[in-house]
């Protein structure tokens, strides 16, 4: 992505951001340098489309099949308050519970904010900006512990994580830094063709590999949702690898196919 002289995004397509608004310049690390296990990044076509719900089913599927599978998220905003005032990372703890991971919150998520706003704004409001060296270190610890690590994003792929005088960082920058491929969760309903195709095209512009799409809130036999699935595949060439109906407790996908998405 490209910034104009004021540090604003000038174009949605490009190779990098201006030096003062990008992640700290580093040589791109090899997979061997970054991790021991395999990992994948789960992003969504927007907020509240069920990304965490689907992520829980993904990790559960692997663990139920005997895989050493774990979960990690860089930042959560909109946390709940516990009875003693402690912040509870609801997304991470949901996956922890559904997939029976048995992890502590501290190992599941690096930054937890109370305010239900974009992470960059929550961080600014709390004067606790995201340190991406810490995020990478936490990610590496998780991927060294688990054979299959699912990293969940915040909101969509263009969700800002940090936007201050030092850094302008969006989710896609972090995905690039960690060398991850993406799995996209999209709602099955009206408007999803547009949002799914735009997400796919942005990932391609950033040269981030795409492993597939999962449609959430899918109603088998619904003529519009069946057509949405077809049109996403026809327009982009990216497969819809699974669909999830409301209330599903299992992900309907072959576990070998699922684990082969991880790199």
What are the residue numbers of the active site? 73
Q: Which residues touch 16 (CB under 8 Å, ≥6 apart)?
A: 1, 2, 22
What distance in Å separates the CA atoms of residue 90 and residue 47, rounded to the nearest whole number? 15
- Cβ pair 150, 55 in contact under 8 A: yes
- Cβ pair 78, 91 in contact under 8 A: no
What distance in Å separates the CA atoms of residue 240 and residue 234, rounded to the nearest whole number? 10
CA distances from 174 to 28, 70, 105, 186, 233 (A): 12, 19, 21, 21, 26
Q: Which residues touch 104 (CB under 8 Å, ≥6 apart)?
A: none
End-to-end CA distance of the chain: 25
Scanning the structure block, which residue is given the tokens 């895989």? 67
Q: What stretches of the chain show up as alpha helix (H) in DSSP? A: 31-34, 51-64, 90-98, 105-108, 119-125, 132-145, 171-178, 192-205, 223-236, 255-259
Provide the β-strand partners of residue 162. 169
């Amino acid at each position: 992505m490209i910034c104009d002289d004021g540090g604003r995004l000038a174009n949605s397509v490009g190779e990098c951001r201006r030096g003062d608004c990008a992640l700290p310049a580093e040589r791109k690390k090899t997979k061997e340098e970054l991790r021991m296990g395999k990992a994948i990044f789960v992003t969504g076509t927007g907020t509240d489309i069920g990304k965490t719900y689907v992520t829980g089913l993904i990790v559960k599927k692997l663990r139920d099949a005997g895989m050493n599978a774990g979960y990690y998220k860089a930042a959560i905003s909109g946390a709940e308050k516990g009875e003693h005032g402690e912040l509870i990372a609801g997304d991470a703890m949901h996956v922890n519970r559904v997939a029976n991971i048995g992890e502590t919150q501290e190992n599941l998520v690096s930054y937890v904010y109370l305010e239900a706003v974009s992470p960059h704004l929550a961080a600014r409001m709390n004067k606790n900006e995201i340190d991406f060296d810490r995020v990478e270190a936490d990610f590496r610890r998780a991927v060294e512990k688990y054979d299959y690590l699912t990293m969940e994003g915040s909101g969509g792929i263009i969700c800002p994580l940090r936007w201050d005088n030092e850094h302008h960082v969006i989710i896609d920058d972090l995905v690039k830094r960690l060398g991850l491929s993406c799995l996209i969760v999209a709602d099955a309903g009206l408007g999803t063709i547009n949002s799914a195709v735009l997400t796919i095209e942005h990932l391609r512009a950033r040269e981030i590999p795409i492993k597939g799409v999962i449609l959430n809130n899918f109603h088998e036999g619904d003529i519009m949702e069946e057509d949405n699935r077809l049109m996403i595949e026809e327009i982009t060439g990216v497969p819809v690898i699974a669909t999830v109906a409301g209330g599903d407790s299992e992900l309907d996908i072959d576990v070998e196919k699922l684990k082969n998405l991880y790199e």
